[in-house]
Amino acid sequence: MSRLLSTALSLRRDPRVLKLPPYLSFLCVLIGLVWLLLLPLDNYCRKNYISENALLPGQVHTYFGGSEHHVLRAYRNEVEALVDQDNHQINDKLEEILRGFGVKVGRQSYTYHAAGHEYSGENLYGILQAPRGDATEAIVLVAAWKSIKGELNHNGVSLALSLARYFKRWSLWSKDIIIVFPPDSHTGTQAWVDAYHDAHDPKHVAPLPLKSGALQGALAIDYPLNHRFQSMHIIYDAANGQLPNLDLINAVVNIAGGQMGIQSFIQGMRQHKGTYRDRLRTMFRGMLSQGLGTAAGPHSSFIPYHVDAVTLQPYGTGFHDEMAMGRVVEGSFRSLNNLLEHLHQSFFFYLLIQKDRFVSIGTYLPSAMLLAANFSIMAIFLWVKSGQSPQSTSEDRGTKAGKASSEKEIGSSLSSGAAERGFIFPLGLVIVCHALSAIPLYTFNHLPAELLPTAFAAFWALSSALPFVICYGIGPLYKPTQQHAHLTKAFSLLILGMALSTLATLNFSLSFIIGLLAAPLSFVKSTKSQVLNFSISALLNLISPPAIIFAAASVYGAEVGEVLREASFGWHIWGMYTPVVVWAVWWPAWTIGMVNTLGLAGE
Amino acid sequence: MRLLVSWLQLLLIAPSLLVAAASDYHEQLTLRPLPFSSVLASFHFRSNTSLTDFESQNFRLFPRSLGQILQHAGTRELHLRFTLGRWDAENWGARPWEGTREGGTGVEMWAWLDASTDEEADQKWLTLTNALSGLFCASLNFIDETRTIRPVKSFQPEGHHSAETLANTRLLHGVLPHEVVCTENLTPFIKMLPCKGKAGIGSLLDGHKLFDASFQSMAIDVRPVCPPGEDCFLEVEETIDMVLDINRSKRPQGNSIPRPVPPQDLVCDQSKPYHSDKTCFPIDHLGSPDWNLAQVFGRPMKGTCPLADPEVPPVCIQVPGSRDVFSTEGSQEKQGADGQSRCYLLDPNNDFTLALTNLRSDDKATEEIVKPEAPLLYADRSFTGYGQEHGGVQAILTNPSDEEVEFVYLESLPWFMRIYLHTLSTHVSTSTATSTNSSTPNSDIIKEVYYRPALDRARGTQLELVLRIPARHTVFLTYDFEKAILRYTEYPPDANRGFDVAAAVITILSPRGMNLRTTSLLLYLPTPDFSMPYNVIIFTSTAIALAFGGLYNILVRRFVGADEGPPSPIKAKLAQLKAKFMRKPAATVQQPTEAKK
C-alpha cells in the first residue's frame, strides 16, 4: 500500500505524465461517445421485467364492455354537444353527469403567466371514494379536455366518464379513484397537482376544495381519434427529464399487449423492428425529449411529486375500439389497486430503447460521466501547468535522477519549480462571465413572446461580440499573462465539469448533450498565428449556444421565438431548469473558451 | 272467571319480570334508507347484569368471556370500536347514535381502570389489551405505550361512578389505525350475543355483507348504571352500524361480479335526442331501487330471540309515511316512538323479511327517504406539503349551523411525527364566501390547549384543543411537523406504504353532545433502500481490508537499515536470472570484450 503510494507520488513528477492529460481527456470524450452507441446492443441492455410482484398486470378479467358501450356513446354525444362552449359551461355539464352517479366533485381555477400570455382555466375533478377505503391512498385518471396537440379529447373525456360510472359499481377498490378533467394538457394538471400537495402559489392557483389520500399513480388518456385505432403510444417523459417508475410502463405494456393484443410503442417510434438502428433512434429520441426537459403530456406534472404516471395515446387506424382502450385502463387500475406499497422497486433512471428493453443507470451513466470528467481532467492539468514557471520543466529533468531519494529533496525541487499564481484576474473574469448569464436567463423568461425573436438576435450579436470585447477591450488593461489564461480556462472547465457530472445524475441526457457540445472547449487554445486563432474562433461560433438553439429550431422547422416561448412557459409553469443549464453553465464556458482562443495573453 | 285467570297469569309472570329487570336483554335493528341507494342498518344489542351477580361470577346474559377479563383487569368502564370505511357526512348527514358508537378507522379503545398510580394503570391496561386481543382476534396487543394516551377533555365516563371510585380510576385511550377489521373480529362479536347468530336480528349478520358495506362500525360499551333508588347493574351494549350500498348488496353471492347489464336492462333517459337502441344515457342511479331485507343481508331474519324483551319491536324502519313498506305475514306494524319510523313485532318462529318498492320515476310527490339531519360540524383533515423532511397537517372544520359550536379536538400522533406547536394556527373564513378571509387571532378560536409532547420511542404526542367556531364559519387549523428518521429495524415489512396516523377525535360540547372522527392519514417517512446495508457492508469491508492491510504491515514490520538486513532472496534470484540472461548474449556477441579482460 505504502509502496504503491510512493510510486504514484514519484510518478507525478514525470514529465511524460504531464503531457498525458489532453490525450486522456480526448480519450474520455471518445469512450463516452462510443459507450453510448454500444448501449442498444443486446449485451448492454436488459429485457423489461415486473419487479413489484403486487402489480400482477393482466392477471384479472376486465369486464368493461357490453352495454357500457351504449353508455359511452351517450356520453360522447354529451361531450360533443359542448364543443363550442366555454370552460365553465363544459365543467357545469361534466359536474352534472358526475354528481348524477354519486361522485363528489370539486373545481379549481388557476391563472398562469408566461411569455406575456395568460393561461387560465378551471379544473374539474371527481373523487370516487373507495367503498371500504379510508381516504389514505388514491389513484388518478386524467382526461384533459384538449389533447396534447390541442384537439378535442372527446373519446378520452367520455371514456373517463363511463369508466367512472363503471368503477363505482365495484367494491374491490382499496384506493380512492380521482378523475381529473383539466381544460388542457399543459397547465391544468400542473395547477391541480401543485394544489393537491399544497405547493401552489395562492396568488395564481386556487386550493382544492376536496382532497383524498396520498396519490399512488396516475394514468392520462389522450384520445382525440374519431376512428378505431391500431396501436397505443405510451408517453412517459416528465419535466426536467424525470421518469416514472419503470414498473408502471411495463405493467401498461404488458396489459395492452399481453391481455388486449394492442401493440404499444414509445417515443413516437411506430415501426420498431428491434434492429440496432431502431433502438438507437428510440434512445436518441428519448434522450432529446429528456434533454429538452419539457413536459410531454398531462401526466408529467405528477412525477416531480413522486407519483408515477404515464399518458396513453391511441394511434393509427386499426381494429381496436374505445372499449379496448377502456379495458386497458381498467386493467391498469386493477394493477395499481393491488399495490400495497408505493411503487419503489424497479428503476427510476433508465433509457428505454424499445418498449420492452431498457438500459439501467449503472450502464449508461459512465458515458455522461466520462464526458464531464474530460473537463475536470483538463482543468486539473491546466491548474498544474499554471503552477509551473517556464524554466521549471528543464529543472525537472535535472532532478529526475535523484527522485528516488528522500522526500525533502522533492519538496525543495517543487518549490523551486513552482510559480506564484495570480488569482484575481482569472477568478474575476470567470465570475463576471457567469454573472452575465443572469441577463439572458432573465430576459428570455420575462419578455413577452412577440419580443423574443428580436431579443434573441440581439443577444446572439452581443454574445458573439463579448469575447472580442474581453480580449481586446478589457483584457489588456490588466496585462494578463499566459498563466492567467491557463487559470481562467482551468476555473471555467472545473465549473463545467462539476456542474455536468452533478447534472448527469439528475438529467443524464441534458448533461450528455451539453457535454458533447462543449467538448471542444477543453481543447481550444490560442496559437501564435492570429489567422488560425480567428478561424478557430469562427468555428467555435458555430457551436455557440445561440447558434445551436437556432440550428436545432430550424432543423425541426420551428421558429426560434416559438422555442424560447416554450422554454419560458416551461420555466414558469413546470419549473423546467434547462434554460439555467444552457445560459448559466454552458454559455459562460463557451464565452471563456472563445476568449482563450482569441488569446487572452495577447502574445 | 277470565279476569281471574288473567290476574293469576299476571301474578305468575310478575316475579319473572322482576328478575328480568335485573338481568334483561334487548335488541333492535333500525333501518334508514339514505341518498344514493344506500341504507343504514343499526343493530343494537343491550344486556345487563346486576353488580352482585357480576362479582359472584354469576353470568346470565352478560358474556362471561368479557366479564372475566374486565374483572381481572380491574376495568370500570370499557369502550371498544372496530371501524372500516368512512361516514359520508355530506350525503348521509349526521351520524347514527350522534357519533358516540363509532371509532376511527381500525381499532380504537378506551377504558377507565381501577388504579391509584399511573404505573398500575399501565400494567392493567397491558393486561386488558392483551386479553381483549385474544378474545377479538385483533392486534390489540400492539397498543403499546407509544399509542396510548390519557385524554383529559375528550372523554367523560358514560356510566354512573361515585366520586371516590372515579378518583381512583385512570382513563387510557389507545388506537390502531392500520388494523383491518374483518370477519375474524365479527365472529367473537356475534358469539357474545345471547342468541348468537341463530335467531333474532343477529341472524342477519353475515360477514360477506357486513364487510362489503361502505361504512361499518362495531362497538362494545360496558358501563355500570345506577338508576336512582335501585341497585347498580353492569350494562353491555353491542352496536353494529353499517351503510350498505343496495345495488352492491343485492348481487347474489355466487355471482357478485358487477358485469355490465344486458343492453335491454339499461334504464335510459329516452328524452335525449340521440337516444337509440345503441346509445343510452343511463339514469339508473336516480331514485332508490326496490329491495328487501333478505336480499340486502343475504338471508331472511330467523324469528326473534326468545331471550329478548318481547315488548321491544326488533325491527324498525325510518321512511316517510307516504312510502309503502311490505312485511311478512304474521308481523304487526307499530308506529315508532319518534313518529317517523315504523316498527314491527314479529312472529317469533317464522322467517321475517321486509320489502321496499321502487318508486315510479313520474311519482315526484312521494318522498323517497327521510331527509338526513345535517351534522353540527364537518371535519376534514389532510396532509400538506411534500418531501421527506417536513410536512403539515390541515384540518378544515366547518360549522354549517346557525349556532356557535364548541368542541374538543384530540390528536393522538405517533412519536416519529414531531409537531411544532408554535406553528399551530387557525384562520377563519365564512362558509359562504371563502374569499373574504378574516384573520381572527388564535385566542378567539382556540380556548384551551392541552399538549403532552412525545418522547422518542416511548410515547406519542397528545394534543387536545378546545375550539369554538362561530355560526356558518370554517376554521382552517394547521400545524407543521418534522419527520423523524427511524432505525432501520424499526420499519415494518411494508415500509414504503407509509405509516398510518390515527383519526382525530372531535367531541362536541355545545350545543349538544356529539362525536365525530376524521379519516386517518398515511404518512411517508424517509425510507432507506433496504438493499443499502449490503452495499454498506461490502464497501466498509473493502475499506477496512485495505486500511487494515497497510496498517498491519507497517506495525509488524521490523525496520532495519538497507545494508544491515540480509539480502532479499527475491533480489538474489532476480540478480541470478539477470546474470544468466546477461551472460548468454555476452558469451556469444561480446566475446571480444571478455577476451580483452
Domains of chain B (ranges plus CATH)? 27-253+287-367 (no CATH), 378-523 (2.60.40.740)
- Laid out side by side, the sheet with A357-360 consists of A46-47, A357-360, A350-354
Nearest to A102 among B259, B279, B285 (CB): B285
**CATH code of the domain containing A86:** 3.40.630.10
Q: Average pLDDT for residues A241-262, to the nearest whole number?
A: 92
> Quick check: A99 contacting B, CB < 8 Å?
no
Tell me, what DSSP letter sits at residue B534?
Answer: H
Q: From CA A590, how far away is CA A586, in angstroms rounded?
A: 6
The three grid cell numbers given for residue A253, joined into one nine-digit string: 405494456
Nearest to B546 among A1, A198, A340 (CB): A1
Answer yes or no: do A431 and A334 share one domain. no
The alpha-carbon gap from B171 to the nearest alpha carbon of chain A, in Å, equals 27
Residues B85, A214: C-beta atoms closer than 8 Å = no
Q: Which site among B247, B274, B532 would you substitute to test the A interface, given the most A Cβ atoms closer than 10 Å to its Cβ? A: B274
What was the pLDDT predicted at A414?
A: 45
The reply to whether A212 falls in a domain is: yes
Nearest to A71 by CA among A168, A163, A154, A141: A163
pLDDT (tens digit per residue) in A124-153: 999 998 888 888 899 999 999 999 998 999
Answer yes or no: do A163 and A221 share one domain. yes
Q: Are A253 and A264 within 8 A, CB to CB?
A: yes
| pLDDT band at residue B21 using 50, 70 and 90 as cut-offs | very low
What was the pLDDT predicted at B563?
A: 78
What was the pLDDT predicted at B2?
A: 47
The reply to whether A498 falls in a domain is: yes
The reply to whether A484 falls in a domain is: yes
| pLDDT band at residue B561 using 50, 70 and 90 as cut-offs | confident
Nearest CA in chain B to A340: B497
Q: Is the pLDDT of residue A401 over 70?
A: no
What was the pLDDT predicted at A231?
A: 92
- With contacts defined as CB-CB under 8 Å, which chain B residues touch A305? 386
What was the pLDDT predicted at B431?
A: 56
Q: Model ipTM?
A: 0.82
pTM: 0.86
What phi and psi, each to the nearest 5 degrees, are found at residue A523? -105, -15
Residues A169, B382: C-beta atoms closer than 8 Å = no
Residues A1, B549: C-beta atoms closer than 8 Å = yes
Integer CA distances (angstroms), A483 to A321, A369, A420, A603, in order: 71, 28, 10, 12
Q: Is the pLDDT of residue A6 over 70?
A: no
Strand A309-320 versus strand A229-235 pairing type: antiparallel
Nearest to A302 by CA among A164, A199, A413: A199
Answer yes or no: do A16 and A76 share one domain. no
What was the pLDDT predicted at A603?
A: 47
Among the ranges B88-97, B237-246, B322-331, which has the highest mean pLDDT value?
A: B237-246
Sign of the Cα torsion B60, B61, B64, B66 reads negative
Nearest to A1 among B274, B527, B553 (CB): B553
Nearest to A70 among B86, B245, B279 (CB): B279
| pLDDT band at residue A408 using 50, 70 and 90 as cut-offs | very low
Q: From CA B211, how far away is CA B244, in angstroms rounded?
A: 9
pLDDT top residue among B270 and B127: B127
Angle between helices A587-598 and A452-468 (to 10 degrees): 40
The alpha-carbon gap from B105 to the nearest alpha carbon of chain A, in Å, equals 7
Integer CA distances (angstroms), A261 to A253, A324, B434, in order: 10, 9, 50
| pLDDT band at residue A391 using 50, 70 and 90 as cut-offs | low
Q: Is the pLDDT of residue A415 over 70?
A: no
| pLDDT band at residue A601 using 50, 70 and 90 as cut-offs | low
The reply to whether A463 falls in a domain is: yes
What was the pLDDT predicted at A418?
A: 63
Neighbours of B111 (CB within 10 A): 27
Question: Which neighbouring-strand residues pair with A124?
Answer: A107, A181
Q: Are B214 and A132 within 8 A, CB to CB?
A: yes
pLDDT top residue among A414 and A457: A457
Answer yes or no: do A37 and A118 share one domain. no
Mean pLDDT of chain B: 84
Q: Mean pLDDT lowest for which of A420-424, A577-581, B176-180, B367-371?
A: B367-371
pLDDT (tens digit per residue) in B429-468: 875 544 444 455 556 788 899 999 999 999 999 999 999 9
The alpha-carbon gap from B472 to the nearest alpha carbon of chain A, in Å, equals 17
Place of cell 382525440: A224
Answer yes or no: do A456 and A338 share one domain. no
- With contacts defined as CB-CB under 8 Å, which chain A residues touch B435? none
Q: From CA A32, how far away is CA A517, in angstroms rounded?
A: 13
pLDDT (tens digit per residue) in A504-522: 999 999 999 999 999 998 8
Q: From CA B309, how far away is CA B26, in angstroms rounded?
A: 5
User: What is the maximum span of chain A, computed from C-alpha positions, in angstroms?
Assistant: 94
> Per the structure, how many domains does chain A have?
2
Nearest CA in chain B to A202: B435
pLDDT (tens digit per residue) in A434-454: 999 999 999 999 889 889 999
Q: Average pLDDT for residues A227-253, to the nearest whole number?
A: 93
For chain A, helix (H) and strand (E) counts, in that order, are 23, 11
pLDDT (tens digit per residue) in B51-101: 888 888 888 888 889 999 999 998 999 999 999 888 988 888 888 888 889
Residues A73, B278: C-beta atoms closer than 8 Å = yes
The three grid cell numbers given for residue B200, joined into one nine-digit string: 333474532
The three grid cell numbers given for residue B77, joined into one nine-digit string: 368502564
Answer yes or no: do A109 and A23 share one domain. no
What was the pLDDT predicted at B593?
A: 45
The reply to whether A407 falls in a domain is: no
> Quick check: A172 contacting B, CB < 8 Å?
no
Question: Which neighbouring-strand residues pair with A357?
Answer: A47, A354
Mean pLDDT of chain A: 87
What was the pLDDT predicted at B566?
A: 75
Q: Is the pLDDT of residue B146 over 80?
A: yes
- With contacts defined as CB-CB under 8 Å, which chain B residues touch A68? 260
The reply to whether A577 falls in a domain is: yes
The reply to whether A510 falls in a domain is: yes
Residue type, A339: L
Answer yes or no: do A223 and A342 share one domain. yes
Q: Is the pLDDT of residue B585 over 90?
A: no
Among the ranges A298-312, B227-241, B563-577, which has the highest mean pLDDT value?
A: A298-312
| pLDDT band at residue B360 using 50, 70 and 90 as cut-offs | low
Q: Is the pLDDT of residue B272 over 50?
A: yes
Q: From CA B229, how far away is CA B225, in angstroms rounded?
A: 12
SS (H, E, C) A198-219: CCCCCCCECCCCCCCCEEEEEE
Answer yes or no: do A260 and A150 share one domain. yes
What was the pLDDT predicted at B414?
A: 92
Q: Average pLDDT for residues A3-16, to the nearest whole number?
A: 69
As a whole-number percent, the residues of chain B with pLDDT over 90 amount to 27
Q: Average pLDDT for residues A63-85, to the nearest whole number?
A: 91
Q: Are B177 and B414 within 8 A, CB to CB?
A: no
Q: From CA A32, how far away is CA A371, in angstroms rounded?
A: 6
- Return the H-helix or E-strand segment holding B586: helix B569-588
Residue ranges of A 230-249 with Cβ closer than 8 A to chain B: none
Q: For residue A68, give its domain range.
A: 53-355
Among the ranges A526-540, A563-577, B350-364, which has the highest mean pLDDT value?
A: A563-577
Neighbouring residues of A20: CB distance < 8 A, sequence distance ≥ 6? none
- Return the H-helix or E-strand segment holding A15: helix A15-19
Q: Are B61 and B53 within 8 A, CB to CB?
A: no
The reply to whether A396 falls in a domain is: no
Neighbours of B210 (CB within 10 A): 24
> Quick check: A133 contacting B, CB < 8 Å?
yes
Q: From CA A221, how far away is CA A208, in angstroms rounded?
A: 22
Torsion-angle region of A535 (φ positive above 0: left; ψ -120 to 50: alpha; else: beta): alpha
Q: Is the pLDDT of residue B17 over 70?
A: no
Residues B245, A131: C-beta atoms closer than 8 Å = yes
The alpha-carbon gap from B415 to the nearest alpha carbon of chain A, in Å, equals 19
Answer yes or no: do A31 and A58 share one domain. no
What was the pLDDT predicted at A484?
A: 85
For chain B, helix (H) and strand (E) counts, in that order, are 14, 28
As a whole-number percent, the residues of chain A with pLDDT over 70 amount to 92
Neighbours of B558 (CB within 10 A): 5
Angle between helices A87-100 and A154-168 (to 10 degrees): 20
What was the pLDDT predicted at A124?
A: 95
Q: Is the pLDDT of residue B391 over 50?
A: yes
> Quick check: A204 contacting B, CB < 8 Å?
no
Residue ranges of A 149-168 with Cβ closer than 8 A to chain B: 165-166
Q: Average pLDDT for residues A61-76, to the nearest whole number?
A: 91
What was the pLDDT predicted at A92?
A: 93
What was the pLDDT predicted at A5?
A: 64
- Laid out side by side, the sheet with B38-50 consists of B148-149, B169-176, B106-114, B75-85, B215-225, B233-245, B38-50, B25-34, B315-318, B341-345, B332-335
Answer yes or no: do A332 and A481 share one domain. no
Answer yes or no: do A347 and A369 share one domain. no
Answer yes or no: do A304 and A187 share one domain. yes
Residues A165, B496: C-beta atoms closer than 8 Å = no
